[in-house]
Chain A
Amino acid sequence: MALEKIVFKGIDIPGRTEISVYEDGGGYAQWKRVLSEKIEPNELIETVKASGLRGRGGAGFPTGLKWSFVPADSPKPKYMLCNADESEPGTFKDREILEKDPHQLLEGVLLGSYAIGANTAYIYLRGEFVKGWKMVERAIAEAREAGYIGKNVLGSGFDIEVWTHRGAGAYICGEETAMINSLEGKRGEPRLKPPFPAVEGFYKCPTIVNNVETLAAVPKIVENGPEWYGQWGTEKSKGTKLWSVCGHVARPGVYEVPLGYPAQKFFEEDLGGCWNGNKLKAVIPGGSSVFAMTPDEFFACNLDYESIAEHGSMLGSGGMIIFDETACLVEASTVIAHFYAHESCGQCTPCREGCGWVLRMFRDIEAGQPQPGAKDVLLDVMDQIFGATICPLGDSIVMPIKSMMEKFPEEFEYYIREGKSMVTGKTRLAQLAQPDKPENWRRGEPFDYPREQDYKTSFKGLAHDLSRGPEPLFTKFEDE
C-alpha cells in the first residue's frame, strides 16, 4: 500500500491555492467556528497539547506546551512568528506547503495567533522562495478580502494582521532567536536562552515561533480532534510527519509518513531503494545537521523521534539524505563543512573559527596534503566546537562529520594515507580540468592554516571566499 497524504492532503489537490477550493474542502471552517463560538484560547492550547503535536522544524518541542508558556497576563503585545526559513540541507517539505497549500498554513497561523492572544503574525520566508512568497501573499490578500484577517474579524471583536517578511539568504535565521533578531532588522545572530521567546522575543514581547509544518497541521487537529491526530504515530511521537527525501534515491520527494513507520519498509517499498539499484551506504535522516546512520542502524529503526534517537541519530527536520555506494564520504564531509563554515554567523569563537578550520583541513586532505595526524586533529577540533556555542549550529557541523568519521573510519584513513578517494580512486584535484587556475580554489587548492587573514574573513557575509585574503568591509560596495 502506497503512502497517502493525510494531514497535508491539500498538497495534492489541484487549485488548492485558490481560497474557493480551500473553502470547499472545509477550509476556514474552524477559524469561523472558533470565532463565532468564542472558544477560549486555553481550550485551543489544550487541544493542541492533547494531540501530541511536536515542533516539526527540528527540535521536536511539544507545540501546545510552547504556546502555554506565553504569559497570559502580560500587558505587552504578543506575536506569532511562522518559521518558513527552510534552509536545512536535505529539507524541502515546507516549500510544498507554501507553494501548494498556503491557505491551510494561514488558517493555522490564525488559530495559533488566537490561542496565544497575538494580534500580529509574521510569516518569515527565506528570500529565495519567491514563488512560495507570492503564493502566501496572494493567500493573505484573499483571506483579507473574505474577512478572515483584519480588525474585528467576522464581528468577533478579535483583531489580527498577518504579514510576510522575507529573509535574505542566511541559514542561521531558521534558529528562532536569530529569526527574531533578523525580524528586528539586526544581523541574524542567535540570542542566549533564557529568556525564551515565549516570554521575551520580538522587541522583548512574548513571541511564539512555529515551523510551517507544525502550524499547517493545526487546522486539521482543531477540526478532527486530538484523538483523530493521535491515531497515527506512537505513544510519544503522535501524528504524521512530512519527510523530504533526496540524494541517491530512486524516488526523491516529499512523503507524509505516520510516525513510527518502519524505516526499512519506507526505504524499500515507498522510496524504491537507491537509484540505479545501487547499494545503500549511509543515511542522514533529519537534515544535514544530525548524525549519519549505517544501513544496519537505519533499517533497525522506526521513523519516530524516540526510535531514531535510540539508533544513534535524530529525526530533526525530516530531511533524509541517502548516500549510495558511489558516494565518497570524505568529499561529502567537505561539502557539509563548507556549508557550516559559510553559514556560521560569526558570533561564537568555537563555531566561527572551528568550522573554517575543519573545512581547511578537509580541503588539504582532498588535495592529498593532509596535516600530520589529520584525523585526530579533526576529531579534537570538533570536540572543542561541540556544545560550546550559543545556538546548535556549532553542534551541527560536528554531528554529521564526526559520525561519518566514526562509522566509516577506513574511508577517511585511506584518503589521508593514500591521498585519494577509496571510492572513486581519484583525488578531487585530478578530477578537475584546470587545477592550477586560482578560481578553482574551492576544489582542493592546498591551504596553510591557521592564517591570520582568515580571522578577518570568516565572518558571515564576508566568508564567501576564505582563500582570497582579507576583504575590508566596503570593497564590495565600491566599484572595484
Chain B
Amino acid sequence: MAYELSAENQQRVKEVAARYPHNMSAILPALHIVFAERGWIDREACDHVAELLDVPPIHVYEAMTFYTYFPRKPVGKYHIQLCHNIACNLRGAENLIEYMRDKHGIEEDRVTGDGLFCLHRVECLGACGGAPMMQVNDDYYENLSPEKIEELIEGWKREAGNGRR
C-alpha cells in the first residue's frame, strides 16, 4: 500500500503550506514532517508529498535528491552521524570511527544486524567547539572520546533491550 502520512500530519502539512506564497516552498517542511513521522523517505513518500501539496512530483524528487539530510532507507533506531570535517578530524574523529567499527561492529553506511545502529560520516555540523562530535537522531553529543562513545553505546543497547526509548 502506498505510504501516507497520518491524518493529523497531513493537516499540518496544509497548515505549514499556508505560510508561504506558493506551495513549492512547503516541499522541504513537508519532507521534514514525513521524516519526523517515519525516519526515512522513499519515492512513494515523495509522491504523497507532491499530492498533498499539489505540485508536480518532479519538484519533490529534485529537492529530495539534492539535500542529504533525509535518509532514503531505514537507518536503524540510533542514526549516528559523526562529523569528520576539519575541526573534528584534528581532534581525532577517525579514531572514533575505527573504535565503533572494531569494538561494536558498527560499520559505515550500514545498519547493524540488530537494527539498532547506522553510522554515517557527515560534514561539519556546526559544533566545532565540542569536537569531535556526532549527532544521534536529533541530539548532539560533543567532546567525544572512545570512553564516552563506549558509555553512550552501552546505554543505548540497554535502553533498546528494555524496550524503552
Q: Hey, which bits of chain A sit against chain B, CB under 8 A?
A: 77, 86-92, 94-95, 126-131, 161, 163, 165-171, 182-188, 202-203, 244-248, 252-254, 288, 319, 321, 323, 327, 331-332, 335-336, 339, 342-343, 345, 433, 439, 442-443, 460-462, 464-465, 473-474, 476-480
List A contacts of B29 (CB < 8 A): 165-166
The yes or no answer to B48 lying at the interface (CB within 8 A) is no
Residues of chain B within 8 A (CB-CB) of A167 are 28, 67, 69
CA distance A253 to B62 in the complex (A): 37
Most-contacted residue by chain A among B23, B26, B43 (CB, 10 A):
B43
Q: What residue in chain A is nearest B72 (Cβ atoms)?
A: A476
Q: Which residue of A lies closest to B138 (CB)?
A: A130
Chain A residues with CB under 8 Å of B86's CB are 89-90, 247, 288, 321, 332, 335-336, 339
Q: Given the complex of chains A and B, what is the CA–CA distance between A443 and B61 in angstroms? A: 31
Cα–Cα, bound, A165→B30 (Å)? 11
The interface centre, meaning the residue of A246, A253, A479 with most chain B CB atoms within 10 A of its CB, is A246
In this complex, how many residues of chain B approach chain A with their Cβ under 8 Å: the count is: 56
Kindly report which residue of chain A lies nearest to residue B55, judged by CB atoms.
Answer: A185
- Best-surrounded residue of A128, A131, A288 (most CB of chain B within 10 A): A128
Residue numbers in B under 8 Å from A182 (CB-CB) = 28
Question: Among the interface residues B24, B87, B94, B121, which one has the most CB atoms of the partner chain A within 10 A?
Answer: B87
- The one of B22, B28, B91 in contact with A168, judged by C-beta atoms closer than 8 angstroms, is B28
Residue of A whose beta carbon sits closest to that of B67 = A168
- A85's nearest neighbour on chain B, judged by CB, is B126
User: Is B42 a contact partner of A477 (Cβ separation < 8 A)?
Assistant: yes
The stretch from B5-13, B101-109, B148-156, B157-165 touching chain A is B101-109
Q: A-B pairs with CB below 8 Å: how many?
A: 169
The 0/1 profile, CB within 8 Å of A marked 1, for residues 66-104 of chain B is 111110110000000000111101110010001000100
Q: Is the CB of B26 within 8 A of A170?
A: no
Pick the residue among B25, B55, B62, B135 that contacts A187 (CB under 8 A): B62
Enumerate chain B residues within 8 angstroms of A465, measured Cβ to Cβ.
Answer: 109
Q: Do most interface residues of chain A lie in helix, strand or loop, or is the interface mixed?
A: loop
Q: Among the listed A183, A319, A439, A462, which residue makes an inter-chain contact with B65, where contact means beta carbons less than 8 Å apart? A: A462
The CA-CA distance from A409 to B93 in the complex, in Å, is 26
Report the nearest B residue to A169, measured CB to CB.
Answer: B69
CA distance A253 to B127 in the complex (A): 9
Residues in A whose Cβ lies below 8 Å from that of B69: 127-128, 167-169
Residue of B24, B72, B94, B130 touching A185 (CB-CB under 8 A): B24
Interface pairs (21), CB distance under 8 Å:
A77-B21, A90-B87, A90-B124, A92-B128, A126-B126, A128-B126, A131-B139, A163-B19, A165-B28, A170-B66, A170-B68, A182-B28, A203-B21, A252-B129, A254-B129, A339-B85, A339-B86, A439-B108, A439-B109, A477-B72, A478-B42
Task: Determine the distance from Cα of A339 to Cα of B25 in the docked complex, in whole angstroms.
Answer: 27
The smallest C-beta distance from B110 to any residue of chain A, in angstroms, reads 8
CB of A406 to closest CB in B, whole Å: 19
B23–chain A nearest beta-carbon distance, Å: 8
Is the C-beta of B131 less than 8 angstroms from some C-beta in chain A? yes
Whether B144 is near chain A, meaning CB under 8 Å from some CB there, is: no
Report A-chain residues with C-beta under 8 Å of the C-beta of B108.
439
Q: Is the CB of B107 within 8 A of A186?
A: no
Judged by a CB distance under 8 angstroms, whether B125 is at the interface is yes
Establish whether residues A87 and B126, one from each chain, have CB atoms under 8 Å apart when the complex forms.
yes
B123 & A87 in contact (Cβ 8 Å cutoff): yes
Given contacts A184-B24, A339-B86, A343-B123, list 12 more A-B pairs with CB under 8 A: A89-B124, A92-B128, A165-B29, A167-B69, A168-B68, A186-B24, A245-B129, A246-B129, A252-B129, A331-B89, A332-B89, A336-B86
Q: Which residues of B contact A161 (CB under 8 A)?
A: 19
Question: Per a CB cutoff under 8 Å, which of B87, B90, B98, B123 touches A171?
Answer: B123
Q: Are B65 and A335 in contact (CB under 8 A)?
A: no
B90 touches A247 (CB 8 A): yes
Question: In the complex, A188→B25 CA distance in Å?
Answer: 12
Is B111 located at the chain interface by the 8 A CB criterion? no
- Chain B residue, CB-CB nearest to A170: B67
For B107, give its contact among A203, A321, A439 (CB under 8 Å): A439
Q: Are B107 and A461 in contact (CB under 8 A)?
A: no
Shortest CB-to-CB span from A243 to chain B, Å, is 11
Given contacts A130-B139, A170-B68, contact A476 B73 (CB under 8 A): yes
Q: Which residues of A contact B59 (CB under 8 A)?
A: 185-186
* A92 and B129 contact, CB distance less than 8 A: yes
Nearest-CB residue, chain A, relative to B31 = A168
- B128 contact set on A, CB distance < 8 A: 89-92, 244, 246-247, 252, 319, 321
In the complex, A77→B22 CA distance in Å? 13
Residue of B nearest to A77 (CB): B21
Contacts of B28 in A (CB 8 A): 165-168, 182, 185
Interface centre among A165, A339, A460 (most CB of B within 10 A): A165
Which residues on the A side are within 8 Å of B65 (C-beta)? 461-462, 473
- Does B25 contact A185, Cβ atoms closer than 8 Å? yes
